[in-house]
């Protein structure tokens, strides 16, 4: 290929014989230069001499697989009008498939952001910046790989951190711990497979940047919500190196998880980048075409319109920014074989002007894209400017923050929440049915990475974020948590027993409610963050899984809950109906403690703490789910069963027994129970062990 034959599409680096075709979008730049760096940091520059529309393109000789490269973009330095060009700065190409190195944010390498750019090179021999690495996209051998294609109705999500999951896992060789290779190790995969989850939702793995203010405190960005490279797997999670090897290592991880029937969902951060506000650093987009990639304040282009709380918002009203996001999504599906995405602060992505819109260009593009039609789409339906739960299209699911809050309130004994609790268990029809959306629209969770772990939710009433270096001012103060008599660890057996019951109650509520259940990784083994509810900067033992002190009894309990949900149709309804004649295989009846249906007047009792759900699926076993959040035992009259007598399937009450043909059961304080009625004599005894808590 010659310069005369270069192409404006595809954008980014396309390897060809002897070099690469490079295409870069910039509406306002005067000149774009590609800089190649050898292993000593010596630079060779090639000007992209062609321009088609707003795309600079050209043939760059010597840019082959493994070559480190960056961009120098020429144009005016005029921050007042939103222009921040500085050819002295080497920029990360936006579509880099791999990134090598990192920005040394402890050095004053971006001080020019506060004024006119310095005229010297900011690379210092490319030692203090991250560079793109050219990658051969056809190199990896997927073999006979197949995607699991797990239906949403059968999906159980496990939110985990690539590094934290295996960093202390002794069954994984030390050189692989905390990496993509560690998560791909047979011991790690087997753990997830035996637990029974069907999908892992990985905290951000797009290339992100370490925050200068954290590094100055001796801390690090652990969660990764500081993205800069939407096409590159984060290089620090690679055991095999960062000169392109991380791409194959990531693919190997996906391949290993898929072989075990486990899907991979990415938590993606397209709403903002690591470049921050007008005082923040320039790594890439600011120096390439600031007004195209970021929303600027109308009438004050020196500043950024921010609905993310991070300093900037990606300009989803501009075609270039939208194309970047869509090309990234397709790349992760087509090349990396990803099964779905959870969109961080997704509401920001629907704001073309100031308001969120169901008919935004972003949602419209997603809707019509055939590549994304078969993957799971999950929204975090809020940003700092608004709450949009229930406002996404029918083929999306949403993190249901109301489920989290109402379930926490119910089990901690908040008065007057029985009615809302029933809505959450039924798949939140109060949120979704008016728009004819199914319970599968709701991703049900009680804990996630942001906030207390399950162990801490039941051990602390106050946040304890002193390790974050902000005098405990950061993090949410209203956690809807209880310590049950002692703040933090205690030797009091009664308190510990109650905490364990509550953990089981929460897990059961998530895993037995209609919708898509999500559990926070480590909750099943009692992982604690020592009361820290904002551990975003704790890349250490506070956040890493403590396998040595795992609660294996809780793990066995969680595994059994997951097994029941996966094997019993009545426990994973796609639609609940209150009467069989309405149509559909799944029905539900809500009953009081006397076994009778709830009436309209029953919901008004602020002191009501107990409720039952009769869950049925045609031609399958029926189940009776009993909740008692009262501080005393409650006598439940058992409703008539359709088949065999009610028998105990699982409970958090270690004293609970269910006698044959018993007319009632006494469920202990702050406990749940799941009873089963088998549909015929021939099924009696099949999978019928007594699984009550010992």
CA distance 299 to 445: 42
Q: Specify which residues 342 forms β-bridges with.
A: 267, 378
Task: Tell me phi and psi for residue 409, to 5 degrees.
Answer: -60, -45
CB 692 within 8 A of CB 668: no
Closest by CA position to 48, among listed 32, 62, 28: 32
Which of 380, 383, 523, 586 is catalytic? The answer is 380
CB 188 within 8 A of CB 166: yes
Catalytic site includes residue 380: yes
CB 690 within 8 A of CB 648: yes
CB 360 within 8 A of CB 391: no
Residue 506: which residues within 8 A CB-CB, separation 6 or more? 407, 408, 411, 446, 447, 454, 457, 458
Would you tell me the crossing angle of helices 401-411 and 418-425 to the nearest 10 degrees?
130
Catalytic site includes residue 334: no
CA distance 591 to 422: 11
Closest by CA position to 621, among listed 656, 598, 645, 638: 645
Q: Specify which residues 34 forms β-bridges with.
A: 46, 71
CA distance 587 to 597: 14
Residue 368: which residues within 8 A CB-CB, separation 6 or more? none
Q: Specify which residues 20 forms β-bridges with.
A: 15, 60
Which of 344, 398, 523, 586 is catalytic? The answer is 344
Encoding tokens for residue 645?
């007598």
Closest by CA position to 68, among listed 110, 104, 101: 101
DSSP code per residue over 629-656: -SSS-EEEEPPPPSSSPPEEEEES-TT-
CB 511 within 8 A of CB 447: no
Q: What is the CA radius of gyration of the chain?
A: 27
- The 3-state DSSP class for residue 264 equals strand
Q: Rounded to 5, what percent of the chain is helix, strand, coil?
A: 30, 20, 50
DSSP code per residue over 526-594: T---TT-S-GGG--STTTS--GGG--HHHHHHHHHHHHHHHH-GGGS-SS-BSSGGG-SSEEEEEE-TT
User: What's the half-sphere exposure (Cβ side, CA atoms, 13 Å) at 91?
Assistant: 26
Residues involved in catalysis: 344, 380
């Amino acid at each position: 290929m010659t310069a005369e034959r270069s192409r404006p599409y595809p954008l980014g680096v396309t390897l060809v014989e002897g070099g690469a075709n490079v295409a870069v979008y910039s509406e306002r730049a005067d000149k774009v230069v590609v800089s190649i760096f050898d292993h000593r940091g010596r630079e060779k520059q090639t000007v992209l001499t062609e321009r088609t529309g707003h795309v600079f393109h050209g043939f760059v000789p010597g840019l082959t697989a493994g070559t480190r490269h960056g961009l120098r973009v020429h144009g005016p330095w005029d921050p007042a009008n939103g222009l921040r060009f500085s050819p002295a700065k080497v920029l990360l190409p936006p579509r880099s498939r791999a990134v090598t190195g990192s920005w040394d944010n402890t050095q004053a390498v971006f001080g020019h952001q506060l004024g006119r750019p310095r005229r010297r090179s900011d690379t210092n021999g490319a030692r203090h910046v991250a560079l793109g690495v050219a990658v051969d996209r056809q190199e990896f051998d997927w073999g006979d790989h197949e995607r699991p294609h797990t239906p949403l109705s059968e999906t159980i999500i496990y939110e985990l951190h690539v590094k934290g999951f295996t960093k202390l896992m002794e069954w994984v060789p030390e050189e692989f711990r905390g990496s993509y290779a560690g998560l791909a190790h047979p011991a790690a995969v087997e753990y997830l497979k035996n637990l029974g989850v069907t999908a892992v939702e990985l905290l951000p793995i797009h290339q992100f940047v370490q925050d200068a203010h954290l590094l100055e405190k001796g801390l690090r960005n652990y969660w990764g919500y500081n993205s800069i490279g939407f096409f590159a797997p984060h290089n620090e999670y690679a055991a095999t190196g960062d000169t392109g090897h991380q791409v194959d290592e990531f693919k190997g991880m996906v391949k290993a998880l898929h072989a075990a029937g486990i899907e991979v969902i990415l938590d993606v951060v397209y709403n903002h980048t690591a470049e921050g506000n007008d005082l923040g650093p320039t790594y890439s987009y600011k120096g390439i075409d600031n007004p195209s990639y970021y929303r600027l304040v109308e009438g004050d282009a020196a500043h950024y319109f921010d609905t993310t709380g991070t300093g900037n918002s990606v300009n989803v009203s501009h075609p270039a920014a939208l194309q970047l996001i869509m090309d990234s999504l397709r790349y992760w599906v087509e090349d990396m074989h990803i099964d779905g995405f959870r969109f961080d602060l997704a509401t920001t992505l629907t704001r073309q002007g100031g308001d969120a819109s169901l008919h935004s260009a972003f949602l419209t593009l997603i809707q019509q894209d055939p590549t994304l039609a078969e993957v799971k789409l999950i929204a975090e339906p809020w940003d700092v400017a608004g709450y949009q739960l229930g406002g996404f299209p029918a083929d999306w699911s949403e993190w249901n923050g109301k489920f989290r809050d109402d379930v926490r309130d119910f089990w901690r004994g908040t008065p007057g929440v029985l009615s809302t609790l029933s809505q959450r268990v039924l798949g939140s029809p109060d949120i979704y049915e008016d728009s004819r959306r199914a319970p599968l629209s709701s991703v049900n969770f009680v804990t996630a990475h942001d906030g207390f772990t399950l162990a801490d939710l039941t051990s602390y009433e106050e946040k304890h974020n002193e390790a974050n270096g902000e005098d405990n001012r950061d993090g949410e103060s209203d956690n809807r948590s209880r310590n049950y008599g002692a703040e933090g660890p205690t030797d009091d057996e009664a308190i510990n027993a109650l905490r364990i019951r509550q953990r089981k109650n929460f897990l059961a509520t998530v895993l037995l409610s209609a919708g898509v259940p999500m559990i926070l990784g480590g909750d099943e083994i009692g992982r604690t963050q020592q009361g820290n509810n904002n551990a975003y900067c704790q890349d250490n033992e506070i956040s890493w899984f403590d396998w040595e002190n795992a609660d294996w009894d809780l793990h066995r309990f969680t595994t059994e809950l997951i097994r029941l949900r996966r094997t019993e149709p009545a426990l994973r309804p796609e639609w609940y109906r209150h009467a069989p004649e309405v149509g559909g295989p799944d029905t539900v009846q809500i009953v009081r403690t006397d076994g009778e249906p709830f009436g309209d007047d029953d919901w008004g009792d602020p002191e009501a703490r107990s409720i039952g759900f009769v869950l049925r699926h045609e031609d399958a076993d029926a189940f009776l789910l009993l909740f008692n959040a009262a501080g005393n035992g409650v006598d439940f009259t058992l409703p008539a069963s359709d088949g065999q007598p009610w028998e105990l399937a699982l409970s958090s009450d270690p004293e609970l027994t269910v006698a044959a043909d018993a007319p009632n059961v006494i469920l202990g304080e702050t406990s749940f129970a799941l009873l089963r009625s088998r549909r015929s004599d021939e099924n009696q005894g099949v999978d019928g062990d007594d699984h009550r808590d010992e």
